[in-house]
Amino acid sequence: MMTVRTWLRRTDWPTVFAAVLVILVMAIVILGPFLAPQSPTDSVDDVFALPAPGELLGSDVLGRDVLSRVLSGGWRFLTMAGAATILGVGFGSLIGILAALIGGILDEIIMRLADVVLAFPQLILALLFVSFAGSSLSLVVLVIAIVHVPQVARTLRAASLRVVGEDYVRYSESIGLPRRRIVWLDILPNVRTTLFVELGLRLTFSIALIASLSYLSFGAQPPSADWGLMIHENQIGIESNPWPVIAPVVLIALLSIGINVLSDRLSRRRGKRGRLQTAAHLAPVPAKLGETA
Amino acid sequence: MGSLFAKTMAKPAAGLGAAKPTSAGIAVRQLTINTTDGGVPIVRGISFTVAPGSILGLVGESGSGKTTAGLALLGYARSGLKIAGGSVSIGGVSMLDLPERELVAMRGREITYVPQDPATALHPGLRLRTQMAECLRQPSGAREQALHGMLQDVGLPDPARILASYPHELSGGQQQRIAIAMAFAAKPQAIVMDEPTTALDVTTQTRVLQLVRALAQQHRTAVVYVSHDLAVIASLADQVAVMYSGEIVESGTAAQVIGRRLHPYTHALLRAVPDPDRALWLEGLPGQAPDPAQRPPGCVFAPRCGLAEPACTTQSPDPVLAEPDHMVRCFRAGSLHIAAPRLLPAVPRPAQPVSPLLRLTAVQAWHGRKVLHDIALDIAPGRATAIVGESGSGKTTLVRCIAGLHSAWTGEIALAGQPLATKAKARPLEQLRRIQYVFQNPYASLNPRQTIGQSLLVAARHLRRGERISRNETLAVLASVGLPAAVIDALPGQLSGGQRQRAAIARGLICQPELLICDEVTSALDVSIQATVIELLTRLQAERGLTILFVAHNIGLVRSLAQDIVVMQAGQLVESGETQTVLSAPIAAETIRLMRSAPRFGAAAQDEFHDGAALDASGMEAKPLRG
């Protein structure tokens, strides 16, 4: 029986807090377009009008309703971030796992190529690609995905290397199990936590990159409602009505914090569970005592 | 981090002068350790004393609380546990009454600790000179000389080279000797050793044990030696305390506890210990120690005890003295007579020569350098063949070549006349099915994210393509290795080491192999569990006509299992033949050396067959140790 007190003690409050943040922002993103009181693209007021009843966040550079633009401008932004993350983490993990499993010269080539890409700051790299390839939205997604690949590959390679060394992979090799089955059955389930943490982390990076690209006008194009673009086009009026800048900034920040805390908690929980499962006599000797000799 | 910690501890203990030592050695009274969450007792009121210069062997299976008790001597309880009562006196200082700072000062100065794995005891990033100097009390001028003395004590040659080395540059045995040297260096009153030889091979183990014995006497140190292996304890300890489910069930001198054992649990532990001189029929102790949170009422051992009577399940037996210093906690103590051990029946070699199941011709293998030299070997079908040798002799590499797990080899390995491809990947499914490999470490050989049933299915579906493998068949295979049906849906993390190893064997069996390669499959297990695995392999061999290739470094174990033996040294095959013949009259120097260093019961075993060993009822009217 769980009393209220043990429930209070056992609940991991940072996780709850982070989950609430993420759910809140996601609700705005998904439900927002239906809740918008006005059209996000029609001018309804003076330029940079202050908040007033009916226009809770005032108006923007073209006199459009800021609240409506904020509510409508999230989904495209988040879809792009999500797609870029899934693509990037998907390809990155595949490359990292294969590099760990196959090893040898292939591993060496992949990792040195990754080093070259890693030498560039992510944003610079993204800008470089976009300036070559143009700035259609699908290209931006692809570019951000590519920028993630080397980092993800590196992390997943390290995690997989540990698994590849285990005897259960050795057994699968001894019965001649095909490589794709080893990846699917032995490696993926055992790097699952790393993968999830990486997804969370890359999602926040994607959000930041898309916001930066939009801000630098490589992302969504006017007049579409987009959080990154809103920051860019409304910064000149920040002294008249700061809300068209503050609202998207705050939402992006809250979402990033939420996702970050969640993925951090996830990686910690894994450590705890692992300890409980270890048989007592095989548990690592406490470091403190190991060194008393 | 380690270095800083060791430094604080090497400092003279502040304020210790106040507590005047009254008695030397270790005295533990009614030590009780509970979990912090719910107060479940893990160690339940144990008491013992160890005089300076003598060694107490604390024996028990995994989960008996022996390591927890050992660590409590340092005033330490791992996270989740707390020392709830009793007293621990080290050289007259009451450890549990000391404030944290003084307790920390005692550790490393008056009481030291040697962990199971030497690799965790030594700082990987410091040269040995640096870390060894931290445990010295000498002024820096005399340090170098003292360091050389330490290394000389533990029999390590070339001190200059060793002091300049990092831990990874030494072998496991050398690392453990360094850890032991460091434990003795501060001239402590007491040392706790937690199975320091488990990870070592038998020859190294013997050297380390002799060393511990000599150093304890020379430095007048009281040593508590924690182990699951009674043979090790018998060859080392002056006194023995047998722990079960958090309490001491039998204690006394080594001769008393081993030679005139009274508790059924001690009997069972001893029946599980192999003997290099005879082909003993090993009897394992089935079952597991009870979960501390759900101990049975009455005697904790009753559920596994063949002698249990109704009283045993309702009342908890009080400790009684069977003879001076010989304590036992059992209503039926002494009713088990020490009988002559059962020996294995000899399996005769077939009259006509049969064609070998496996034939190795001129096998050479490389691990960077050459590790196997021209191995030629025939493995007879239906027999168990043991490959023995020290670590580094190439025995594991040899079986890995057979299994296709090692790719750098040449020569020919033929299975029933068909040559095998170098790598497993290049072999046809039919050949892969016929050879199954069981790994040394059951904690790493099963995918932690697959249930046992899934692990078995993946292997069976792959190797028996086109066949339907029913849940009932999986359950039958699990039952044949002695696992309950519930295991099919369990994850490896929910099983004990012995159960995991059985599951790994079941995974091999469901593929219907002809050759089962067992690579040191018992070395990560307790002796009592090891015996049950050996029993299982013997039974499988007889029932299924399975050919078994058993890699081991313990020659006594081999004698209880294998009909044929192959002795390897430095990548060469130095002796082979029928086990009984080879071990009764070993010819090769390496075989003789392995035989000589195998642990034996020694002096204590001499008492084993004395008539007076079993107590009659009149001997039992002894007084309780405490009220």
Burial of B471: CB neighbours in 10 Å, binned 0-12, 13-18, 19+: exposed
Q: Using the beta-carbon criterion (under 8 Å), do A287 and B115 form an inter-chain contact?
A: no
**Domain co-membership, A100 together with A217:** yes
- Establish if A129 belongs to a structural domain: yes
Chain B residue closest to A188 (CA)?
Answer: B449
| A290 belongs to a structural domain | no
Within-domain flag for A86: yes
Distance from CA of A277 to the nearest CA of B (A): 5
**Alpha-helix runs per DSSP H in B510-617:** 527-544, 555-559, 579-584, 589-597, 602-606
Q: Are residues A80 and A218 in the same domain?
A: yes
Report pLDDT digits (tens) over B486-520.
Answer: 889 989 988 888 889 999 999 999 999 999 999 98
Interface of B with A in 92-121 (CB under 8 A): 107-108, 112-117, 120-121
Distance from CA of B399 to the nearest CA of A (A): 12
pLDDT digits over A78-135, tens only?
A: 888 999 999 999 999 999 999 998 888 888 888 888 888 888 887 888 888 878 877 7
Residue B398, pLDDT score: 95
* Contact between residue B480 and residue B509 where contact means Cβ atoms under 8 Å apart: yes
Residues A233 and A166 in one domain: no
In the predicted model, what is the mean pLDDT of residues B248-260? 91
The Cα A177–Cα B140 span in angstroms is 60
A167–B444 CB contact, under 8 Å: yes
- Using the predicted structure, report yes or no on whether residue B328 has a pLDDT greater than 80: yes
Q: Which of A190, A223, A256 is the last residue of a domain?
A: A223
Q: What is the pLDDT of residue A241?
A: 84
What are B166-202's pLDDT values in tens digits?
Answer: 988 888 778 888 998 898 888 899 999 998 887 777 7
CB of B123 less than 8 A from some CB of A: yes
Residues A173 and A33 in one domain: no
Residues of A in contact with B429 (CB under 8 A): 176
- With CA atoms as reference, the chain A residue closest to B75 would be A289
Query: Which domain CATH number covers A116?
Result: 1.10.3720.10
Q: How many residues does this entry show for chain B? A: 627
Contact by Cβ (8 Å): B398, B362: no
Q: What is the mean pLDDT of chain A?
A: 81
The two structure tokens encoding residue A192: 């699952």
* CA nearest to A115, candidates A149, A86, A140, A145: A149
B303 has pLDDT over 50: yes
Instruction: Tell me: pLDDT of B1 over 80.
Output: no
Q: Please check whether residue A140 lies inside any domain of the structure.
A: yes
For residue B214, pLDDT beyond 50: yes
**Mean pLDDT across the stretch B156-174?**
86
CA-to-CA distance for B17 and B110, rounded, in angstroms? 13
Q: How near does any CA of chain B get to the CA of A174, in Å?
A: 6
What are the tens digits of pLDDT across the range B290-300?
888 888 888 99
Q: How far apart are CA B218 and CA A286, in angstroms?
A: 29
Instruction: With respect to residue A274, please indicate whether it lies within any of the assigned structural domains.
Output: no
Query: What is the pairing mode between strands B435-438 and B326-328?
Result: unpaired
Q: Are residues A251 and A147 in the same domain?
A: no
Q: Is residue A2 part of a domain?
A: no
In this predicted structure, the answer to whether residue A283 has a pLDDT above a threshold of 60 is: no
Facing residues of B387 across strands? B551, B566
| B608/chain A closest Cα distance in angstroms | 30
Q: Please give, rounded to a whole number of angstroms, the shortest distance from the CA of A11 to a CA of chain B.
A: 16
* Structural domain includes residue A107: yes
**How many domains does chain A divide into?**
2
Taking residues B31-58, report their average pLDDT.
Answer: 91
Q: CB distance A279–B497 less than 8 Å?
A: yes
The domain containing residue A185 runs over which residues? 75-223
Pair (A65, A181) in one structural domain: no
Pick from A170, A185, A192: CB nearest B458: A185
Q: Which residues pair with B241 in a beta bridge?
A: B58, B251
pLDDT in tens, A163-178: 998 899 999 999 999 9
Residue A276 lies in a domain: no
pLDDT of residue A1: 52
The answer on A255 and A120 residing in a single domain is: no
pLDDT at residue B386 in the model: 95
User: Which secondary-structure segment (H or E) carries B573?
Assistant: strand B572-578
* Chain A contact residues (CB < 8 Å to B): 166-168, 170-177, 181, 185-186, 189-190, 192, 277, 279-293
Q: What is the pLDDT of residue A2?
A: 56
Interface contact flag, A293 B112, Cβ < 8 Å? yes
Top pLDDT among A225 and B371 is at: B371
Average pLDDT over residues B282-309: 84
The per-residue pLDDT for range B584-626, each reduced to its tens digit, is 999 999 999 888 888 777 544 433 433 333 333 333 333 333 3
Among B154, B447, B549, the strongest candidate for a mutation testing the A interface, having the largest count of A CBs within 10 A, is B447
Q: What is the mean pLDDT of residues B342-349?
A: 76
- Residue A194 near residue B462 (C-beta atoms within 8 A): no
pLDDT at residue B8 tops 50: no
B527–chain A Cβ distance below 8 A for any pair:
no
**Residues A239, A181 share a domain:** no
Q: What is the pLDDT of residues B68-78, one digit of tens each?
A: 999 999 999 88
What pLDDT shows up at residue A229? 84
Residue B76 to residue A286, Cβ atoms within 8 A: yes
CA distance A70 to A56: 11
A83 and A213: one domain? yes
Are residues A152 and A233 both part of a single domain? no
A185, A284, A293 member nearest B135 (Cβ): A293
Helix (H) or strand (E) holding A115: helix A104-118
List residues bridging with B280 in a β-sheet: B343
Q: Give the per-residue pLDDT at B510.
A: 94
Q: Are residues A141 and A242 in the same domain?
A: no
Instruction: Measure B4 CA to nearest chain A CA, in Å.
Output: 10
Q: What tens digit of pLDDT does each residue of B440-451 get?
A: 888 899 999 999
User: Given an 8 Å threshold on Cβ–Cβ distance, is A284 in contact with B120?
Assistant: yes
Domain co-membership, A34 together with A124:
no
Q: What percent of chain B stands above pLDDT 70?
A: 91
**pLDDT(B63) > 60:** yes
Rounded mean pLDDT, A142-166: 90
Average pLDDT over residues A182-208: 89
Q: Is pLDDT of A284 > 80?
A: no
